[in-house]
């Protein structure tokens, strides 16, 4: 599970 999480990309940040 940990390895899979590390492969996910970071997210962009949106100002609302």
Residues that bind another protein (CB under 8 A): 1, 5, 8-16
3 vs 9, 10, 12, 13, 16, CA distance in Å?
Answer: 12, 14, 21, 24, 32
Q: How far is the CB of 5 from another protein (least distance, A)?
A: 7
Q: How far is the CB of 3 from another protein (least distance, A)?
A: 13
Q: How far is the CB of 16 from another protein (least distance, A)?
A: 5
């Amino acid at each position: 599970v940990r390895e899979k999480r590390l492969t996910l990309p970071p997210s962009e940040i949106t100002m609302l």
